[in-house]
């Protein structure tokens, strides 16, 4: 009997060691926004662990810094945008989308153009001669803002566009350093709450009322070398989205732990990525003058 128990103990240790050894280390980068909450939930609830992923979450201030980190290998999976995929593809880098994160929809619109109180900005034309802070040059917020301004007949060359991370936008507006920002929740609510600024328009919804917003991406080379990661990551994120929908209060606690705040609106999470929407972004990227050649978007989805 003792021999049998000893054998069971040895097998248990061996199995535990085998499972531990099977874990693939994955460094994930995300900016401070609720779009990326499913990854935080998947980490907290063990959805990554149960699928063999040993995940390290890294908060990155500006989403436009993530593609370079993915290509260098300091991150393995990161929060990215359709415009980042197109930009890196045009530069000859092999960044690919793994799974969707959120969509930009008309209701609830999580992105707005918000102007500094006293700036006098009421229309697109009023932005001429003003200084606008975007969360990243060539970012999805930037490209869609430029597209919106073009639709509104704005001379974009007369608008000064600079980088302003979401967490700093309110202070930059208060100080008068910038006049307006394209901003998402919960940073939008903070700016509006103390009258630092006011909503001009939900500009992304004006361009397209339902379009792919942001996604999770990685280097094709790294994903090919670790073929178990992409399907496991998709499954974990899908389970986390389901948890958020079924347990909103618990999800908000996890959001507060990682981000320091909670988002009041229902974030439109979506895992799908359609090539036609990447085509739409590629066309906008070209329209605003960021690229001159056509991008083959069929190669951008893993």
Q: What is the 3-state secondary structure (H, E, C) of the chain?
A: CHHHHHHHHHHHHHHHHHHHHHCEEEEEEECCCHHHHHHHHHHHCCCCHHHCEEEEEEECCCHHHHHHHHHHCCCCEEEECHHHHHHHHHCCCCEEEEEEEEEEECCCCCEEEEEECCCCCCCHHHHCCCEEEECCCCCHHHHHHHHHHHHCCCCHHHCEEEECCHHHHHHHHHCCCCCEEEEECCHHHHHHHCCCEEEEECHHHHHCCEEEEEEEEEEHHHHHHCCCHHHHHHHHHHHHHHHHHHCHHHHHHHHHHHHCCCCCCCCCECCCCCHHHHHHHHHHHHHCCCCCCCCCHHHCEC
- The residue among 153, 186, 207 that closes a domain is 207
CATH of residue 243's domain is 3.40.190.10
- 187 and 242, same structural domain? no
* Res. 60 pLDDT band, cuts 50 70 90: very high
- The residue among 155, 184, 207 that closes a domain is 207
- 226 and 98, same structural domain? yes
**Residue 61 confidence (pLDDT):** 82
- 269 and 226, same structural domain? yes
**Residue 273 confidence (pLDDT):** 96
**Residue 91 confidence (pLDDT):** 86
pLDDT > 90 in the chain, percent: 80
Q: What is the span of the domain harbouring residue 180?
A: 111-207
- 124 and 88, same structural domain? no
Is 16 a residue whose pLDDT tops 60? no
Is 260 a residue whose pLDDT tops 60? yes
Q: What's the rounded mean pLDDT across residues 251-262?
A: 95
Q: pLDDT digit string (tens) for 130-176?
A: 999 999 899 999 999 999 999 999 999 999 999 998 999 999 999 99
**Residue 21 confidence (pLDDT):** 55
**Residue 5 confidence (pLDDT):** 43
Is residue 151 in some structural domain? yes
| Total tally of structural domains belonging to the chain | 2
Is 185 a residue whose pLDDT tops 90? no
Q: What's the rounded mean pLDDT across residues 245-268?
A: 94
* Res. 293 pLDDT band, cuts 50 70 90: confident
């Amino acid at each position: 009997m003792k021999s049998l128990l000893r054998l069971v103990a040895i097998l248990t240790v061996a199995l535990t060691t085998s499972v531990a050894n099977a874990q693939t280390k994955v460094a994930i980068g995300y900016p401070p926004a609720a779009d990326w909450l499913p990854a935080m939930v998947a980490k907290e609830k063990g959805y990554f662990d149960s699928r063999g992923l040993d995940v390290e979450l890294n908060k990155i201030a500006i989403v436009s810094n993530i593609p370079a980190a993915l290509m260098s290998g300091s991150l393995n999976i990161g929060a990215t945008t359709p415009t980042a995929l197109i930009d890196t593809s045009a530069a000859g880098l092999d960044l690919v989308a793994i799974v969707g994160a959120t969509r930009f929809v008309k209701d609830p619109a999580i992105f707005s153009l918000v102007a500094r109180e006293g700036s006098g900005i009421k229309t697109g034309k009023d932005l001429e001669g003003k200084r606008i802070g975007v969360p990243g040059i060539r970012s999805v917020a930037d490209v869609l803002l430029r597209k919106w301004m073009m639709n509104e007949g704005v001379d974009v060359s007369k608008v000064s566009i600079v980088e302003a991370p979401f967490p700093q936008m309110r202070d930059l507006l208060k100080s008068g350093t910038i006049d307006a920002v394209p901003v998402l929740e919960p940073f939008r609510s903070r700016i509006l709450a103390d009258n630092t600024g006011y909503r001009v328009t939900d500009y992304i919804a004006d361009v397209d009322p339902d379009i792919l917003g942001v996604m999770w991406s990685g280097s094709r080379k790294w994903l090919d070398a670790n073929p178990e990661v992409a399907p496991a990551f998709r499954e974990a994120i899908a389970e986390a989205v389901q948890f958020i929908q079924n347990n909103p209060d618990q999800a908000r606690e996890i959001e507060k732990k990682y981000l320091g705040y909670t988002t009041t609106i229902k974030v439109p999470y979506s895992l799908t990525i359609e090539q036609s929407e990447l085509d739409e972004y590629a066309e906008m990227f070209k329209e605003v003058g960021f690229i001159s050649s056509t991008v083959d978007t069929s190669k951008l989805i893993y």
